[in-house]
Structure 1
Amino acid sequence: MLEDLLSKYPDLKHVYDLTTTHTRYRKRETINLIASENVMSPLAMLLYLNDMMHRYAEGKPFKRFYQGLKYVDELEVKASELMGQLLNTKFVDLRPVSGTTANAAAFRTFTKPGDKAVVAPVQAGAHVSHTRYGTLGALGIEQIDMPFSLEEWNIDVDKAVKLIEEVKPKIVTLGGSLYIFPHPTRPIAEAAHSVGAKVIHDVAHVLGLIVGGVWPNPLTEGADVITSSTHKTFPGPQGGLFATRLEEDYKEIGKVIFPMFVSNHHLHRLAATAITALEMREFGRDYASQVVKNAKALAQALASRGIKVVMEEKGYTESHQVVLDVSRHGRGTKVATALEEANIIVNKNMLPWDRPEDVKDPSGIRIGVQEVTRWGMREGEMDEIAELIKQVVVDKRDPAEVRRKVIEFRKEFLEVQYCFKISREDEVKLLSLLLHP
């Protein structure tokens, strides 16, 4: 039947082929080292395919503007409770559809146009939404860059405290998309609170490490709000959240997220988020610990092969990320493109010494090991990945030759780990129930 449809409708076949080919390519044939991606478990993926993707839910649980949502209400409350248990707070809101949306709501809650925000600069790892080029600028908030210590690859605490005391901003942002060491939340929060500022810590990249217990939870260190996506080190569906220490802040941001930034909030992701939270409660510590071990192992293996990995003097990394300076190998664009041709997927990235005009061809490469960890890879596999990267970047081997090795390597890692296991028979039954209730 499907073959007949594909034969009859060429455009249908084109869409079908692109989708299935992409899925096979990324899940079976590549080593994915994008630091902002991950894979859901089979159970989470199956429950993602539910009727809620057809439904609409303005408002919040039990206070909706539409009927027919009694099960959605219960599910949203349960998913929020599960995330709250992991984050040690009762105040979690899953309505943001992305981390950037969560940032926008938090920024808008505590500022008005013309107010000042002290932020980490983009070259030091801040996400673009924290800057004048993104959400912060769109809201009319003035960006003031926080001093950054290249020696520590982190915020310069003493200078940052002094700046906050002088500027008296309305908000201070921490966290970033290039994030290898924890930001100093406690002293920054103390300085911010002394001038009446709120601290908004973007933990999108490290949420899975936080709930896995290997990265500090900013909420317990003085941050007023954490914002996050739910699909990086936390291996859930694409989406967002914010969480707070105080009920008052939770309510105030909630009034902004709807109706200002979100109407319907993509309800089908709630079940997958809840399943992932349960899996992280069960397996998160082992997973997060292995992520950090793998990042350190990959960094060491790459450095031993002649590739410059930043911050050797501090053990390279404490997160899922490994940062390379490839300026002597052709710079970021050339290296990322060559690796992609070999089915090794990374992204170019600005480093602190890059100029703003280097954004299209920065000197850095950002690597994340959270997805390969989910596929069951450990320290030994990190050494193999480093060798494959070296063959492309240092040895200048033909990427097609390395690609064949990558595809062969991936054949041993096709089952997601650190999750609830279900049989193929169960998968078929559940899929049939979801598609043909």
Structure 2
Amino acid sequence: MPQVPEELQKIIEITREQNRWRRLETLNLIPSENVMSPLAEAVYMSDFMSRYAEGKPYKRFYQGTKYVDEIETLAMKLMNEITNSVHCDLRPISGTLANAEVFRVLANPGDKALIAPVQAGAHVSHTRFGTLGALGIEQIELPYDPENMNVDVDKAIKMIEQVKPKFVVLGGSLYLFPHPSKELAPHVHAVNSRLIYDAAHVYGLITGKAWHNPLLEGADIMTSSTHKTFPGPQGGAIFINDDELYKKISDTIFPWFVSNHHLHRLPSVAVTALEMKYFGEDYAKQIVKNAKAFAEALAAEGFKVVGEHLGYTKSHQVAIDVRNLGGGAKVARMFEDANIITNKNLLPYDPPSAVKDPSGIRLGVQEMTRYGVKEGDMAEIAKFMREVAIDKKDVLEVKKKVIEFRKRFLSVKYTFDLDLGQFSNGKVIPLLI
């Protein structure tokens, strides 16, 4: 047998180090990430990852797809059940592609779209700098209400009536409070427009009944990713209740935007949907409680937490202003040196030009909640962050405390207590740790 190539050893070592670091030693506070359960990870590693299934279930352009048809149909059924929706399409391989597929059907180049203001958290895919711009659709921002850190409803209604856009987009990537889908939907429909709600960040809160369901408040379409508060594999989803609109969008996904849709995601999505069906309400409720407790603890430790007058947050996210501590880029690096993983982020009053060194840090509690963290534990995390950013203590000393703290939170909660060996004759592929 030939000697193991040095490059192969390096590949395995890098993978092992990533798994060890992020799964065992760090506090993961990125709002757009999560961790799958061991069960969801086990079914992710399957023969599906090598196969193609262009088209829709039972209407494929390849042979050999009978089990793909079954698992995709089952996954969509489960997703509709927990979402209270009629139609689901899981072929988008990201939330951004889900948006692109919807935008392209609803508007042509040169048409107008109203989006939630960037200050209220609009995702880049909603803007002229991202998907909207790539499709040649004109971006117009809805008015912003700085007092409520949200869309200004009264002014937005007037703008919708005046502009008569092809569609309106709510939802976003940094938003602490629900966007006004119920208030705007009747006015959007009055001008023969469509209301899209990008629920990528809060979809797990929606299925856990800790966030309003935009589809029940008049939204025509809800797009999402499947890996943020919803703790599944990376991917996208589209939810629609109207039969005709669903057919129009579903018929466009292939071949315009997706050929094969990464089939190994489907069993993991189905498992995660089941986890949310049975454990999602407890999980989502704890996420919201943890976010609130985290914000209050950070404020008590001396951080400037955004949205104090509104109760800080109603989502999984917390935002802190760190301009007086060196700025978002510097503080995020300091936190990472202490094994606290966050991300720098623009705050509502930052200009777009500040993107490389914004005022803020964006924090999310959903992944650590899934590892069993509760409100009192969030207060401990806030203390670690104070020691790093405010007290300027030795970052290596704080890192040791973080690693010790993390030892208490290594197993995924809100999932089925199963012996995976019973499903695979004891042959479960372990993580390289």
TM-score of the superposed pair, with normalisation by structure 1 = 0.96
> Match of 1:361, SS?
coil
Could you tell me which residue of structure 1 aligns to residue 31 of structure 2?
35
> Match of 2:425, SS?
helix
2:390 matches 1:394: yes
CA separation of 1:430 and 1:150: change in aligned 2, threshold 3 A: farther
Matching of residues 79-90 of structure 1 within 5 Å: 79-90=75-86
Could you tell me which residue of structure 2 aligns to residue 101 of structure 1?
97
CA separation of 1:305 and 1:427: change in aligned 2, threshold 3 A: farther
CA RMSD, aligned part only?
1.4
Cα deviation digits, residues 228-259 of structure 1 (max 9, x gap): 00000000000110001201111111111111
Could you tell me which residue of structure 1 aligns to residue 116 of structure 2?
120
Matching of residues 15-414 of structure 1 within 5 Å: 15-414=11-410
Distance in 2 separating the partners of 1:160 and 1:284? 33
* Distance apart, 1:122 and its partner CA: 2.4
Contact 1:46 1:431 in 2 (8 A): no
* Distance apart, 1:431 and its partner CA: 3.8
Cα deviation digits, residues 87-130 of structure 1 (max 9, x gap): 11220000000000000000001000000000023232110000
CA separation of 1:106 and 1:297: change in aligned 2, threshold 3 A: same
* Distance apart, 1:401 and its partner CA: 1.2
Distance in 2 separating the partners of 1:238 and 1:262? 15
Q: Residue type of the partner of 1:211? A: T
Distance in 2 separating the partners of 1:414 and 1:427? 23
> Match of 1:365, SS?
strand
CA separation of 1:205 and 1:338: change in aligned 2, threshold 3 A: same
> Match of 1:92, SS?
strand
Distance in 2 separating the partners of 1:154 and 1:429? 53
Distance in 1 separating the partners of 2:233 and 2:427? 17
Distance in 2 separating the partners of 1:23 and 1:212? 28
* Distance apart, 1:424 and its partner CA: 6.4
* Distance apart, 1:427 and its partner CA: 7.6
CA separation of 1:430 and 1:178: change in aligned 2, threshold 3 A: farther
> Match of 2:362, SS?
strand
* Distance apart, 1:82 and its partner CA: 0.2
Distance in 1 separating the partners of 2:416 and 2:91? 25
Distance in 2 separating the partners of 1:149 and 1:414? 41
Distance in 2 separating the partners of 1:335 and 1:432? 40
> Match of 1:366, SS?
strand
Distance in 2 separating the partners of 1:154 and 1:210? 19
Contact 1:329 1:393 in 2 (8 A): yes
Q: Residue type of the partner of 2:92? A: P
> Match of 1:360, SS?
coil
Contact 1:375 1:416 in 2 (8 A): yes
Contact 2:40 2:272 in 1 (8 A): yes
* Distance apart, 1:429 and its partner CA: 3.4
CA separation of 1:65 and 1:194: change in aligned 2, threshold 3 A: same
Distance in 1 separating the partners of 2:74 and 2:421? 28
> Match of 1:415, SS?
coil
Percent of pairs with identical residues = 59
Distance in 2 separating the partners of 1:187 and 1:373? 32
TM-score of the superposed pair, with normalisation by structure 2 = 0.97
> Match of 2:318, SS?
strand
Contact 1:46 1:430 in 2 (8 A): no
> Match of 2:197, SS?
strand
**How many residues are treated as equivalent by the alignment?**
430
Distance in 2 separating the partners of 1:368 and 1:395? 23
Cα deviation digits, residues 180-229 of structure 1 (max 9, x gap): 11101012111111111111100000000000001010000000000000
* Distance apart, 1:311 and its partner CA: 1.0
* Distance apart, 1:305 and its partner CA: 0.9
Cα deviation digits, residues 161-181 of structure 1 (max 9, x gap): 111111110010000000211
Cα deviation digits, residues 258-277 of structure 1 (max 9, x gap): 11000100001100000000
